[in-house]
Amino acid sequence: MPDELPAVEVYRPSASSPLLIHCDHGGNAVPRGLNDLGLSPDVLSRHVGWDIGAAAVARQLAVNLDATAVIARYSRLVIDLNRALGDNDAFPAMSDGIAIPGNAALTQGDLNARADHLFWPYHKALDSELARIKAQQKIPVMFSVHSFTPALMESERSQPRPWHCGVMFSRDRRFGDHLIAALRGVPGMAVGVNEPYSGVTHGYCMKMHGLAQGMP
């Protein structure tokens, strides 16, 4: 995919904090050759196409905390960078009741091309930034930024989501518990604990780059 938007943005790469912010669904771009996956601009702008507002939050956090942010620029519908390549949801044929024509009948060559141009550059950027922080004799802390829609469109999954924010974690709660306590200190803030998604069942990036290496 030459002459296209780069797959990943590394924002503030020389920041001093050991905190590494990453945004797996930060953009909704589609490579030109994929013809918008057969979708309208309206669909690509919705929550199915990306995590709305997450990239802006990641950049602002990076500024406030003197941290680096690694931000994906392409739509999760092209390839979901927060899923293993063998996961059916990595190249979704449906998303919240919407058919994705451009993901129908994909060949292994199609999958490999998307992985080579989008998946691996993003994950290599994460590894590179983690290595940079470790080289400074610091322990990296990974902080993944996502957003969620107040309710899904699919009728059988459309239960209201009453939370203003959610904190995901798996078996390592060191960072999550501190964040939950701080957010609950904000008057009126409804905090989801592993809601609406659980870090036990979700969070491929955090598990592969953080938990597997013993990082909070």
Q: What is the pTM of this model?
A: 0.89
The rounded percent of the chain whose pLDDT value lies above 90 is 70
Distance CA 27, CA 51 (A): 8
In this structure, the dihedral spanned by the alpha carbons of residues 2, 123, 125 and 63, taken in order and rounded to 10 degrees, is: 110
Give me the residue label for tokens 């979901």.
Answer: 80
Q: 139-148, 163-172, 205-214 — which one is most confidently predicted on average? A: 139-148
Higher pLDDT pick, 157 / 183: 183
Distance CA 39, CA 44 (A): 7
Distance CA 210, CA 117 (A): 23
In this structure, the dihedral spanned by the alpha carbons of residues 135, 205, 87 and 52, taken in order and rounded to 10 degrees, is: -140
Q: Which of 24-38, 65-79, 95-109, 146-160 has the least mean pLDDT?
A: 146-160
Q: What is the pLDDT of residues 175-184, one digit of tens each?
A: 889 999 999 9
Other C-beta atoms closer than 10 Å to the C-beta of 187 total: 5
What residue ranges define each of the domains in the chain, with the CATH number in brackets? 8-213 (3.40.630.40)
